[in-house]
Amino acid sequence: MGYWEKHPMIMIVVGIMGISLSAIFVKYSHAPSAVTAAYRLLWTVLLMSPVVWGYGERRRELLETPKKTVALCGCSGIFLALHFFTWFESLKHTTVASSTTIVCTEVIWVALGYCLFLKGKVTAKEAAAIAVTLGGSLLVAYSDSGAGEGHLYGDILAFLAAVFVAGYTLIGQVARTTLSTTTYTYIVYLFSAGVLVMLTVAQGYSLIGYGYSAAVVGLLLSVFSTILGHSIFSWCLKFFSPAFVSASKLCEPVVAAVFAAMLFGEIPEKLQVIGGAVIIGGVIYYSRMEEGGRG
């Protein structure tokens, strides 16, 4: 057993730092949101390609993937692209603390989507947790409304980003049942990158002409937030329960807010802190109930 397998909590910490840096990196990009997001996915596809195409087993799985599964992965990739686009744009209008906290409500919208589209059931207690989380989001939005319409608009975009990533997650639950994680994510990232490039062109932007910031930020996002962030959390599921891993991700708004306070002077208002605490509490409560239901 290797060092990391003996000390998986270190990897949890690395994952938290990786995803927490995502919003910080985006703030340093001078390019439009679609361009920054496109670079993130293009870099990710580029870095994954040798792993996918360089091994016979993965290459065969990719080439033999049924068209229906590819189509599902494509839909998942579209939702992921819309998530990145709306979230990155939200960071141009509201604070890191507000944006990351609202986006972390993803699990709540996954629950609602599971109930509405996959014939799942939500208990009364789970519905209460969803209502509490929504109430926390409204508190954050109310606090930001006093800072101007721009902040409220950013909160709305963050909310949409949470809904879009929930769609990505729900479709992924169906699409990845017959695929390995590597093949599934590679196909999704390919589609997502393509959609973001098309969004860039549709908005009349170019992928070049922004100096080094967009490309460098995209690479940092790919390495730290995708590979050393989300991918590590997937790896950690071998050692920890899904509820613990999900709860660990809720450290992102706190760590990101600390970074933003130090780097950008973004000090959260009292109502933002209260609303954020309500949101995180509601998501933790829901996650524990969901885990208990599986046990």
pLDDT at 84: 94
Query: Is residue 26 predicted with pLDDT exceeding 80?
Result: yes
Q: What was the pLDDT predicted at 88?
A: 95
Give the pLDDT of residue 204: 93
- Burial degree of 208 (CB within 10 A; 0-12, 13-18, 19+): exposed
What average pLDDT does this structure show over 4-32?
86
Q: Does the pLDDT of residue 98 top 70, yes or no?
A: yes
Looking at every residue in the chain, the average pLDDT score rounds to: 84
**24, pLDDT greater than 90:** yes
Residue 201, pLDDT score: 95
Looking at the predicted structure, is the pLDDT value of residue 100 above 90?
A: no
Q: What is the structure's pLDDT at 126?
A: 72
Which band of pLDDT confidence, cut at 50, 70 and 90, is reported for residue 62?
Answer: very high
Q: In this predicted model, what pLDDT tens digit does every residue of 171-226 receive, in sequence order?
A: 887 777 788 888 888 999 999 999 999 999 999 999 988 888 889 999 999 999 98
pLDDT tens for 212-249 read: 888 999 999 999 998 888 778 777 767 776 556 666 77
Q: What is the pLDDT of residue 34?
A: 94
Mean local confidence (pLDDT), 24-47:
94
Write the CB contacts of 162 (distance below 8 Å, at least 6 apart in sequence): 102, 103, 104, 105, 106, 108, 109
149-163 residue pLDDT tens: 567 889 899 999 999
Q: In this predicted structure, what is the pLDDT of residue 159?
A: 92
